[in-house]
Amino acid sequence: MNSIELRRKLHRSPELSFEEVKTQQLIIDALEAEGIEYRKIANTGVLAKIEGERGNHRRAVVLRADIDALPITELNDIDFKSEHEGVMHGCGHDMHTAILFGVLQHLNSNRDFEGTLFGLFQPGEELNPGGAVKVLEENPFEGYDVAAVIGEHVDSSLEVGEVGLCPGRFMASNDEIRFYVSGRGGHAARRTEIDDSVTAMADMILRTTSLNTPECVVSIGRVIADGATNVIPSLVTAEGTMRTFDREVRERTHAYLHNNARQVAEKYGTEVKVDISYGYPCVVNDVMLTYEAMIVASDEGIVVRELKPMTTAEDFGHYTERYPSLFYRLGVGKNAGGSHTATFLPDEAAMEWGERMMRRMALHILNK
């Protein structure tokens, strides 16, 4: 099986975070056909291992791909369209997985390199706190000197044959925020007999979005006020996301949210509760690895685009906190459309470039 065939099989059978049972089996079948050593990890993930023919096997490089899909109903008219209603590989994880398999397939047939290569097929990237946490809880690289953890993400803002790289802080941390405003509900015309939970929540939301800066993004995407034209509900809820690039800014913004809640509660006579669910940390690229990747890519004929930090988030940040790491964007063509949409369709021609980039970077580090 080649990587494109695997990608299409995965695309037909997408599974949500931590439910990747069939996905895991497809990966295992592909690895077994190549005689590649593996074990299961983080329940529904797979960790493959290939030892080079030379050097100290304690020195290792980890190549990581995420394997989960999104709760989206696919609208593409293709012969490998998702067969699971309401689930789709709308973020390109099927392509990440197939590219990693292609790299392992190639290097397994030619082990003329030093050290140990791990291929990590990680579940649950799309769901806080992320599958990376479950992987690291197992401490799978104990006893190894991990020289680098490398991952990629498809990007339709880049053309096929391009990669995007950013030294240092690259992707933001992400936290989920929830507000609960409660008070006396009742007839909307009897203002003195109610606590206006709706207006209180509106004030809370406006205070929250006023915290937005280039270094901090706070957005509310869901509000539930289950009243009527003449009924003020006793409970209003809101949910959103918060993204920052700096730990101090993150903690300070959390404090602002709690302080705003106290002020709103006092102003409207309501109870305001703030619930913050910590998500992924920032993705911080090792600066030296990033510049080495720029050189390796150029040597391979891949066009390098230097990117600015992005407010999107990735649980790959957990790896960057523990090991020297590199995360980059792989161009899949602007005609692919937007990720996390029902019509996202990356150009499969990008897979050859993705395999070449990841393979050459792994060999470059292992053979230093």
The 10s digit of each residue's pLDDT in 16-44 is: 999 999 999 999 999 999 999 999 999 99
At which of 254, 277, 300 does a domain end? Answer: 277
* pLDDT the model gives residue 214: 86
Q: Are 97 and 7 in contact (CB under 8 A)?
A: yes
pLDDT at residue 146 greater than cutoff 90 = yes
Helix (H, G, I), strand (E, B) or coil at 317: helix
pLDDT at residue 281 greater than cutoff 90 = yes
Token couple for 159: 């053309």
Token couple for 55: 């050097």
- DSSP strand pairing (283-285 vs 59-66): unpaired
* 214: CATH: 3.30.70.360
Q: What are phi and psi of 259, to 5 degrees?
A: -65, -40
Q: Are 60 and 52 in contact (CB under 8 A)?
A: no
Q: Same structural domain for residues 355 and 317?
A: yes
* pLDDT the model gives residue 55: 86
Q: What are phi and psi of 248, to 5 degrees?
A: -65, -40
**217 bridge partner residues:** 243
* pLDDT the model gives residue 72: 97
Q: Same structural domain for residues 166 and 25?
A: yes
pLDDT at residue 116 greater than cutoff 90 = yes
Find the domain containing 137 and state its range: 3-172+282-366
Q: Same structural domain for residues 269 and 127?
A: no
Number of domains in the chain: 2
* 342: CATH: 3.40.630.10
Closest CA to 27 of 102, 133, 127: 102
Q: Same structural domain for residues 163 and 312?
A: yes
Q: Same structural domain for residues 103 and 181?
A: no
Average pLDDT over every residue of 287-299 = 98
Q: Same structural domain for residues 307 and 267?
A: no
Distance CA 274, CA 180 (A): 7
At which of 251, 277, 303 does a domain end? Answer: 277
Distance CA 209, CA 226 (A): 23
Distance CA 300, CA 298 (A): 5
Q: Same structural domain for residues 203 and 321?
A: no
Alpha helices in the chain (DSSP H): 3-12, 21-34, 93-109, 131-137, 197-209, 247-268, 287-299, 317-320, 350-366
End-to-end CA distance of the chain: 31
* pLDDT the model gives residue 128: 84
Token couple for 21: 């049972």
pLDDT at residue 247 greater than cutoff 90 = no
pLDDT at residue 129 greater than cutoff 90 = no
Distance CA 366, CA 112 (A): 11
Q: Same structural domain for residues 189 and 337?
A: no
User: If pLDDT is split at 50, 70 and 90, which confidence band does 255 have?
Assistant: very high
pLDDT at residue 12 greater than cutoff 90 = yes
* pLDDT the model gives residue 60: 98
The 10s digit of each residue's pLDDT in 189-234 is: 999 999 999 999 999 999 999 999 988 999 999 999 999 999 999 9
